[in-house]
């Protein structure tokens, strides 16, 4: 084999490698944009449904596609295409209306046209209190690492969807609110950890979320680490991975 042919083979090998890498990147981009996007939980606003350190997949096709379905919102889609509205009770990742660079994850509580209000810590939808039953206390660490018991409730939405919510008290600043009238084409989002969630109840921070801003529906947890632990410390996984949460569906 001549020196020239060896050089050609080397160049051909480099080009083949670049093509394979580019193909892999395109496939990953398509999966992330159209099918499933990974998302990790940075705060405790959705306890006990989702915990800090949970890693989950978000179904991108559940509600159709908008410009926010794609990285950096680069595809100029007006509104949504192939759209399907979320159901009350869905756990949804969305772009913050005031800053679309920020992703939030909350539960859909109010649909377009609904009237939402908190009275004495109890959720009311269209003038009727949501059924709420006392459940076993939820035990979690406080800001100082001490274990504390928090009141936990099993709530049942009008359509029958059930989930658990947490309440530290019934007299928080978001426990007695005005009536929120959800505008057409918008949704009212709330965190399950009711006293530690900045959500649609805070109009100047989150407020009503446009349908266009929905990224996708939270599907299932594919990985989970104890709060404050680093995923790159592989040698610690046997002790810091929350094995019982892996594969858990999100309701």
pLDDT of res. 80: 78
**How do beta strands 214-224 and 91-96 pair?**
antiparallel
Read off the pLDDT of residues 164-215 as tens digits, 9 standing for 90 and up: 999 988 778 899 999 999 999 999 999 999 999 999 999 999 999 999 999 9
Q: Any idea what the CATH number is for the domain that residue 20 is in?
A: 2.10.109.10
pLDDT of res. 142: 75
Q: Is residue 89 part of a domain?
A: yes
pLDDT of res. 65: 78
Whether this model's pTM surpasses 0.85 = no
pLDDT under 70: residue ranges of the chain: 1-36, 70-75
Cβ atoms within 10 A of the Cβ of 224, count?
A: 24
Q: Is residue 143 part of a domain?
A: yes
Phi, psi at 212, each rounded to 5°: -60, -30
User: Which residues are annotated as catalytic?
Assistant: 45, 106
Q: Residue 138 in contact with residue 48, Cβ under 8 Å?
A: yes
pLDDT of res. 168: 86
pLDDT of res. 64: 82
Omega within 30 of 0 (cis) for the link into 48: yes
pLDDT of res. 222: 94
Distances (CA, A) of 159 to 89, 101, 162, 182, 183: 9, 33, 9, 18, 20
3-state helix vs strand vs coil in the chain, percent to 5: 20, 35, 40
Q: Is residue 251 part of a domain?
A: no
- In three-state secondary structure terms, 6 is helix
- Which residue has tokens 């978001």? 174
Where in the sequence is the domain holding 57, given as residue range(s)? 3-245
Which tokens sit at 44? 């405790």
Task: Give the span between the Cα atoms of 191 and 49, in whole angstroms.
Answer: 10
Beta bridge partners of 138: 150
Q: Is residue 250 part of a domain?
A: no
| Of 155, 218, 206, 207, residue with least CA distance to 181 | 207
| Of 118, 112, 95, residue with least CA distance to 190 | 118
* Residues sharing a CB contact under 8 Å with residue 174, sequence separation 6 or more, in sequence order: 118, 194, 195, 201, 202
Q: Is residue 224 part of a domain?
A: yes
Q: Is residue 240 part of a domain?
A: yes
Domain count, the chain: 1
Distances (CA, A) of 55 to 160, 218, 224: 27, 10, 6
Q: Is residue 80 part of a domain?
A: yes
């Amino acid at each position: 084999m001549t020196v020239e042919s060896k050089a050609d083979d080397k160049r051909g090998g480099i080009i083949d490698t670049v093509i394979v890498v580019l193909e892999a990147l395109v496939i990953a981009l398509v999966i992330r944009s159209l099918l499933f996007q990974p998302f990790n939980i940075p705060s405790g606003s959705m306890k006990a449904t989702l915990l800090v350190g949970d890693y989950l997949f978000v179904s991108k096709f559940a509600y159709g596609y908008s410009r926010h379905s794609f990285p950096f919102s680069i595809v100029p889609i007006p509104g949504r295409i192939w759209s399907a509205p979320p159901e009350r009770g869905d756990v949804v990742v969305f772009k913050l209306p005031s800053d679309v660079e920020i992703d939030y994850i909350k539960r859909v509580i109010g649909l377009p046209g609904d009237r939402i209000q908190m009275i004495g810590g109890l959720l009311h939808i269209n003038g009727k209190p949501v059924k709420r039953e006392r459940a076993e206390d939820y035990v979690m660490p406080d800001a100082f690492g001490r274990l504390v018991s928090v009141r936990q409730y099993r709530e049942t939405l009008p359509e029958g969807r059930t989930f658990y919510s947490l309440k530290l008290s019934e007299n928080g600043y978001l426990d007695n609110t005005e009536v929120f009238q959800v505008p057409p084409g918008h949704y009212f989002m709330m965190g399950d950890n009711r006293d530690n969630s900045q959500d649609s109840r805070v109009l100047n921070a989150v407020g009503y979320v446009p349908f266009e801003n929905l990224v996708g529906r939270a599907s299932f947890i594919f990985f989970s680490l104890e709060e404050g632990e680093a995923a790159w410390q592989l040698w610690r996984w046997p002790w810091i991975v929350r094995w019982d949460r892996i594969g858990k569906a999100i309701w």
